[in-house]
Chain A
Amino acid sequence: MSEEKLLEVTNLKQHFQTGRHSIVKAVDGITFDIKRGETFGLVGESGCGKSTTGRTIIRLYDATDGSVKFAGEDVHGKKSRSELKKFNRKMQMIFQDPYASLNPRMTVKEIISEGLDIHGLVANDEERTKRVQDLLETVGLNKEHATRYPHEFSGGQRQRIGIARALAVEPEFIIADEPISALDVSIQAQVVNLLKKLQKEHDLTYLFIAHDLSMVKYISDRIGVMYFGKMVELADSEELYKNPVHPYTKSLLSAIPLPDPDYERNRKRIIYDPNNHDTSEEPEFREIRPNHWVLCTTKEFEAYKEELNN
């Protein structure tokens, strides 16, 4: 992992108009960056805006406000076709549901080669077939699978096809939106191991969105915790699990059941009450320790600091 920032998200906002006078602030001013070669985990409960963040970064939605810079260039705003194409090639997405994200009427080869054709990466069909077969082998499938349709595959195999499709255009950055939550436990490990292997071989950077915190801790270098459209805490994954500071992070961590009966018998759940926050001023994102950020007011900042030092 280098120190170079591959993706910089600044004060990103995504608001949806849901009625004449009602607006849902799905993402409400979040700032973070992702370094080249790292895996950044984004966790939170459903409705906290983690998926919206991913989708906004890759321009599936137009951001309400804020900026997203990829390798120093602004992703949002008006873009010409060729500029967009360039971004699309560098940034790819793996979706949650391997059943819904593959077109059932296309063969695996068609699905994977669509991106190759759009970006003109192959000259003829022979090259296309070769490339698709290579990709299938990279993700642990056989080259015979190229002529089949998605319904002939199991969930884990389909997710591999989705990964092959994302890899086809040789991206630098992959957004994985809950890539394993629809899979069985034993298959989840296969896919996670594959993602880790591909990261090493292709020098990929991941934004890994999930609600399964133990898996996120395992795969991520740094983790951001979201709550109601805001990022409440951001730290190295070890640090976040050892020294959670924000009460919401604490409550989230204390709620995860672990596969260890002895631990479970003694686990005490911490309940988060948003009303306990200091409301004297608007909370800000502050650095409480090197590389450990937390959303808090000045007063809370002092209190958290004290708590960390004890």
Chain B
Amino acid sequence: MMEKILEVKDLNVTFDTYSGSVKAVRGVTFDLKKGETLAIVGESGSGKSVTTKALMGLIPKPAGKIPKGEILFDGKDLTKLSDKQMSKIRGRDISMIFQDPMTSLNPTMKIGRQIMESLIKHQKMSKDKAKERAIELLELVGIPNPKDRIDQYPHQFSGGMRQRVVIAIALACNPKILLADEPTTALDVTIQAQILELMKDIQKKTDSSIVFITHDLGVVANVADRVAVMYAGKIVEIGTVDDIFYNPKHPYTWGLLGSMPTLDSAEEELIAIPGSPPDLTNPPTGDAFAPRNPYAMKIDTEMQPPMFKVSDTHYAATWLLHENAPEVDPPEAVKRRMRDFAEGSMEKGDRS
């Protein structure tokens, strides 16, 4: 059993707005093990970014509040720390890679200084030493001629190179946890592939844990060890990457998988999830996905489903897993996935 490095228990985050308080995250529980990559997937507004912001202590106050829940890291509850205590952890133990490399760098600062900033602050390095380390980091993230490049400004770098700089900054203090919020969404596919390879490579070298937020299921399949699917501020299904892709249990996960064409799904219509996500100012009483769920039952509109256990690694919050629930037939695209996998694993069994 791998050691748990971070535990999130029943996390709730709300934002006060003029039209009432928006319940952006509604009771999220998960843990992160050492050296693993956990992907959080979901649509915009599902609370995935807010969850990571909470981990970084970056929920804007006073509008944003954490009324309930714990984030346990290194024996401390991060939700209880003062800003000053949090700033010691942020950037040192937990650091973040943002989506847009165009806006997350300071355009008026040379990139060397931007990397050195946290080294001087957290590790109390001298300027010369920090500079040496900055050059090392640029080398690590694969930027050619780092000695010359540290004296350049962000606009002198391409998008992919800028994202490498952002990663170098995040890695500066050897963080234990790296939070990556859509780090490749703004990049082209070939550059995305390079950045993903780089992140996996660095993870192998430093044994850090990564929380990877994305809505691209292809990227998830590529990087993740485990996957959490979020919908309307809750985790609706969590499991290993194989659990989620080859044995999904939640109708929302079915919808997500079915709405992406695979290269061999040719003629059939894509399964679109009808409607749009609910308004989280007044979240529905029952299952938030029920109005868009073709498999919804009466109980879905009345009570929120608990997390049902599928296996030791796999949990899903849908009433379909209750013992009294009727058997349902998942969409064809999903059944094909399950079938392919069953055949695949049998083949593997034969070989061993």
- Can you name 29 A-B residue pairings with CB atoms under 8 Å? A45-B188, A45-B190, A46-B159, A156-B276, A157-B276, A185-B256, A185-B260, A186-B43, A186-B273, A188-B259, A189-B260, A189-B273, A190-B272, A192-B270, A214-B260, A214-B261, A214-B262, A217-B261, A218-B266, A238-B266, A256-B189, A257-B192, A257-B216, A257-B222, A259-B245, A260-B337, A261-B242, A261-B246, A269-B197
A186–B256 contact, CB under 8 A? yes
A185–B215 contact, CB under 8 A? yes
A255–B270 contact, CB under 8 A? no
Report the 5 A-B pairs with minimum CB-CB distance, sorted nearest first: A257-B218, A189-B259, A218-B261, A259-B217, A186-B273
Q: Which residues of the other chain, B, contact A155 by a CB distance below 8 angstroms? A: 44
Q: Contacts A211-B188, A256-B189, A257-B219: A185 and B270 contacting too (C-beta < 8 A)?
A: no
Q: Which residues of the other chain, B, contact A213 by a CB distance below 8 angstroms? A: 189
Residue-by-residue, is A186-206 near B (CB-CB < 8 Å gives 1, otherwise 0)?
Answer: 111110110010000000000
**In chain A, residues 132-171, which have Cβ atoms closer than 8 Å to a Cβ of chain B?**
154-157
Q: Which residues of the other chain, B, contact A215 by a CB distance below 8 angstroms? A: 261
Alpha-carbon distance A257/B191, docked complex (angstroms): 12
B190–A252 contact, CB under 8 A? yes
A255–B189 contact, CB under 8 A? yes
Tell me if B307 counts as interface (CB < 8 A to partner A): no
Tell me if A258 counts as interface (CB < 8 A to partner B): yes
B221–A186 contact, CB under 8 A? no
**In chain B, residues 145-202, which have Cβ atoms closer than 8 Å to a Cβ of chain A?**
159, 188-193, 196-197
Tell me if B280 counts as interface (CB < 8 A to partner A): no
Tell me if B257 counts as interface (CB < 8 A to partner A): yes
Q: Contacts A217-B261, A251-B190, A255-B190: A261 and B221 contacting too (C-beta < 8 A)?
A: yes
Q: Which residues of the other chain, A, contact B189 by a CB distance below 8 angstroms? A: 45, 211, 213, 252, 255-256
Tell me if A32 counts as interface (CB < 8 A to partner B): no
**In chain B, residues 25-61, which have Cβ atoms closer than 8 Å to a Cβ of chain A?**
43-44
Q: Which residues of the other chain, B, contact A214 by a CB distance below 8 angstroms? A: 218, 260-263
Tell me if B144 counts as interface (CB < 8 A to partner A): no
Alpha-carbon distance A157/B277, docked complex (angstroms): 12
Contact partner of A190 (CB less than 8 A), chosen from B196, B221, B274, is B274
Tell me if A264 counts as interface (CB < 8 A to partner B): yes
A261–B219 contact, CB under 8 A? no
Q: Which residues of the other chain, A, contact B265 by a CB distance below 8 angstroms? A: 218
Tell me if A272 counts as interface (CB < 8 A to partner B): yes
Alpha-carbon distance A241/B265, docked complex (angstroms): 13
**Nearest residue, chain B, Cβ from A262:** B344
Q: Which residues of the other chain, A, contact B218 by a CB distance below 8 angstroms? A: 214, 256-259, 264
Alpha-carbon distance A267/B221, docked complex (angstroms): 11
Alpha-carbon distance A215/B271, docked complex (angstroms): 13
A259–B220 contact, CB under 8 A? yes
**In chain A, residues 243-272, which have Cβ atoms closer than 8 Å to a Cβ of chain B?**
251-252, 255-264, 267, 269, 272
What total of chain A residues lie within 8 Å of the partner, measured CB to CB? 39
Q: Which residues of the other chain, A, contact B220 by a CB distance below 8 angstroms? A: 259
Q: Which residues of the other chain, B, contact A156 by a CB distance below 8 angstroms? A: 276
A257–B221 contact, CB under 8 A? yes
Alpha-carbon distance A185/B189, docked complex (angstroms): 17
Alpha-carbon distance A263/B218, docked complex (angstroms): 10
Q: Contacts A185-B215, A189-B272, A264-B222: A255 and B259 contacting too (C-beta < 8 A)?
A: no
**In chain B, residues 210-244, which have Cβ atoms closer than 8 Å to a Cβ of chain A?**
215-222, 224, 241-242
Alpha-carbon distance A214/B44, docked complex (angstroms): 21
A263–B271 contact, CB under 8 A? no
Tell me if A184 counts as interface (CB < 8 A to partner B): yes
A259–B221 contact, CB under 8 A? yes
Nearest Cβ in chain B — how far from A298, in angstroms? 28
Nearest Cβ in chain B — how far from A194, in angstroms? 9
A184–B215 contact, CB under 8 A? yes
Tell me if B323 counts as interface (CB < 8 A to partner A): no
B271–A189 contact, CB under 8 A? yes
**Nearest residue, chain B, Cβ from A272:** B190
Contact partner of B263 (CB less than 8 A), chosen from A196, A241, A261, is A241
Nearest Cβ in chain A — how far from B190, in angstroms? 5
Alpha-carbon distance A241/B264, docked complex (angstroms): 10
A258–B263 contact, CB under 8 A? yes
Nearest Cβ in chain B — how far from A69, in angstroms? 31
Q: Which residues of the other chain, B, contact A252 by a CB distance below 8 angstroms? A: 189-190
Alpha-carbon distance A120/B255, docked complex (angstroms): 43
Q: Which residues of the other chain, A, contact B221 by a CB distance below 8 angstroms? A: 257-261, 263-264
Alpha-carbon distance A190/B270, docked complex (angstroms): 8
Contact partner of B192 (CB less than 8 A), chosen from A188, A255, A258, is A255
Alpha-carbon distance A241/B266, docked complex (angstroms): 12
Tell me if B341 counts as interface (CB < 8 A to partner A): yes
Nearest Cβ in chain B — how far from A192, in angstroms? 6
Tell me if B327 counts as interface (CB < 8 A to partner A): no
B270–A193 contact, CB under 8 A? yes
Nearest Cβ in chain A — how far from B132, in angstroms? 31
B260–A259 contact, CB under 8 A? yes
Q: Which residues of the other chain, A, contact B246 by a CB distance below 8 angstroms? A: 261
**Nearest residue, chain A, Cβ from B185:** A181
Tell me if B312 counts as interface (CB < 8 A to partner A): no
Q: Which residues of the other chain, B, contact A272 by a CB distance below 8 angstroms? A: 190
Alpha-carbon distance A238/B246, docked complex (angstroms): 25
**Nearest residue, chain A, Cβ from B225:** A261
Q: Which residues of the other chain, A, contact B224 by a CB distance below 8 angstroms? A: 261
**Nearest residue, chain A, Cβ from B245:** A261
- With a 10 A CB-CB cut-off, give which of B190, B256, B257, B266 has the most chain A CB atoms: B190
Nearest Cβ in chain B — how far from A251, in angstroms? 6
Q: Which residues of the other chain, B, contact A218 by a CB distance below 8 angstroms? A: 261, 265-266, 270
Alpha-carbon distance A201/B256, docked complex (angstroms): 27
Nearest Cβ in chain B — how far from A3, in angstroms? 22
Alpha-carbon distance A260/B148, docked complex (angstroms): 41
Tell me if B83 counts as interface (CB < 8 A to partner A): no
Nearest Cβ in chain A — how far from B307, in angstroms? 22
B270–A189 contact, CB under 8 A? yes
